[in-house]
Amino acid sequence: MALIRYKLGDLIQLEDERNSFGIRDFFGVNIDKDFMPTAANTDGLDATKYKVVKKNRFVYSGMQTGRDQCIRISMYNGEKPIIVSPAYTTFEVAAVDIVDPLYFFMVFISKEKDRYGAFCSDGSIRSNLDWEVFCDIDIELPPLPVQQKYADVYKAMLANQKAYERGLEDLKLAYESLINEYKHKSPKKNVSSIFEEIDCRNNGAAIKDVQGINIQKQFMPTVANTVNVDLSKYKVVKKGQFAFSGMQTGRDECIRIALHNNDNPIIISPAYTVLRTKEKNILPEYIMMWFSRKEIDRLGWFMSDASIRANLEMDRFYEIKIPIPDIKIQKSIVEIYKVYQTRKEINEKLKSQLKNICPILIKGSLEEAKQEEAHG
């Protein structure tokens, strides 16, 4: 059987089911085509206006497709229904005798398809891929058995990745349980007695690697323009040292601090403060684990209220208290945390590989259909 071309709109149907079930799990779709909990404040929100997303239902947003170079679409695979903003379009594959729903989604996990969506959005003043334009896009499909064969390969790989991800949650629960256990029975120390400030400048501008800190508490290449900037004034951060910025802690609800773990030193803006632990019986990794917890971010947010700019001033930062258990306990917690971080990085690579394999699987299915037709 030959490849057949269809319009997307001929294969799908809108599903506008509103939340009459009391569901409070608010989600959105990011540019990686993954569902993620909404960042908006949902306290007191009327959830009955939100749209219900059940298993195998799709969520689509054509907004800013041209700007983001991404068709924002995702297929929900969870057993428990969630809800999304009324601004999203929700739909299902209607022609299941023509196209496998998972195969349909795999078609959109492709940079090529994203670029085509951006091209189609050129007619919109806001770079949107309007629903009518989306529905008019052509899709070439092999016979259903061929689709299902390649969809099964993707499904098996996805199941392996999800199983790996569930193991991650067990590790996270393990180290968080230990932290919670010892935070109530360990002596607490002020941050001022844990850290000392370091002010080592980049003499001769020898180091060129300029970094900043994001709200995930990670170092990242600076977004500032450093052309013609005197880098000799920048501060050096070596392995095992911290960089801290109290700016906008209240606005971001985040204490912006990061631990540098690489062997090669980096430089940061003079506006940052560089810190290191004073005592050998306090592990930097353990302190960073504490600053990675939401409870300490909330404390920083609360303490920044005294600042007109919602900054966490240095003297207030130094007032924060952290429980410090015995060094052996710290090492045990940190070891579990390191395993968690390593496995988390592997999981992200697995997810990336899944996205990269989809265009290959789609191409393979089309070529197999062509070969079957040639030998038919």
Average pLDDT, the chain: 94
How confident is the model at residue 310, as a pLDDT?
A: 86
pLDDT, tens digit, for every residue of 8-32? Answer: 999 999 999 999 999 999 999 999 9
pLDDT at residue 190 greater than cutoff 90: yes
pTM assigned to the model: 0.76
Using 50, 70 and 90 to split pLDDT, how confident is the model at 307?
low
For residue range 286-305, list pLDDT tens digits in order. Answer: 999 999 999 999 999 999 97
- Set out the domains of the chain in order of their start, with CATH numbers: 4-141 (3.90.220.20), 187-324 (3.90.220.20)
pLDDT category of residue 42 using cuts at 50, 70 and 90:
confident
Q: Tokens 């996270």 — which residue?
A: 172
